[in-house]
Structures are given as structure tokens and as C-alpha cells.
Amino acid sequence: MKHSLRTHLTASLALALAALFSTTEAGAAQTKHRSHSHETRVLVCKDVRKEANKGTVVGAVAGGVLGNVVAGHGSKTAGTVIGAGAGAVAGHQIAKKQAKRNRECHYEYRRR
């Protein structure tokens, strides 16, 4: 008797979970495919420029410090300036590439 009751409860639970998940998926499918005559579906992505600008600043500081350390005694200023320029370019490119790779995008509905 216990075995058939356990089987019956397990089957009921499985059926209830299946019904719950099918309703959730149907609701999600409806929101994905809804169409509005006065709204347009637009892909919105996180701005890459902010991250690239942060990389520029970090690269310039790191490059300036490294250029100052590596430069000879008579050319510390030149080493700092050249290092900062090269670091800024490298930092910008690296940060931009990382931001594009990790870009967060989603769809929004916007009025026309």
C-alpha cells in the first residue's frame, strides 16, 4: 500500500511541475513574440566607450610610471611621456576588446 501511495504522490508532483513549467514557458514565449503597432523591438547594449576610456586612463598611468622607471637619468620626462602615450593606446585597445567580448545586451520595446 505504501509503495502505490508513494508512486501516486510522485506522479502527481511530476505532473504539477510539468504543468507549472509549461505555463511559464508559454508566458515567456508570448512576451518574446508580442507585436505592438506603436512599439519597435530594439537591441540595447552596454556602452563600450566608458570601459575603453577607463582603460585609456589606467594604461596611461601605468605606461607613464613604467616609462619613467625604464628611462635613463637624463631623459625621465621623455620616458614618462612616451610611456604614457603608448600605455594609453594599449590600455584603450585592451579595454575596448574586453568590453566588446563581455557586452551585456537585451531587447526593449520603444515607442516609434
Amino acid at 89: V
Of 97, 99, 103, 95, the C-alpha closest to 54 is 95
pLDDT of residue 10: 60
Exposure b/e, 26-48, CB count within 10 A at least 16 = b: eeeeeeeeeeeeeeeeeeeeeeb
> How sure is the predictor about 95, in pLDDT bands with cuts at 50, 70 and 90?
very high
Task: Tell me the mean pLDDT in the region 14-29.
Answer: 48
Across 13-27, 42-56, 79-93, least confident range: 13-27
Enumerate the H helices of 1-112 as residue ranges. Answer: 2-32, 48-70, 76-101
Q: Is the pLDDT confidence value at 34 over 70?
A: no
**Cell (9 digits) for 17:** 511541475
Side chain identity at 64, as an amino acid letter? Answer: G
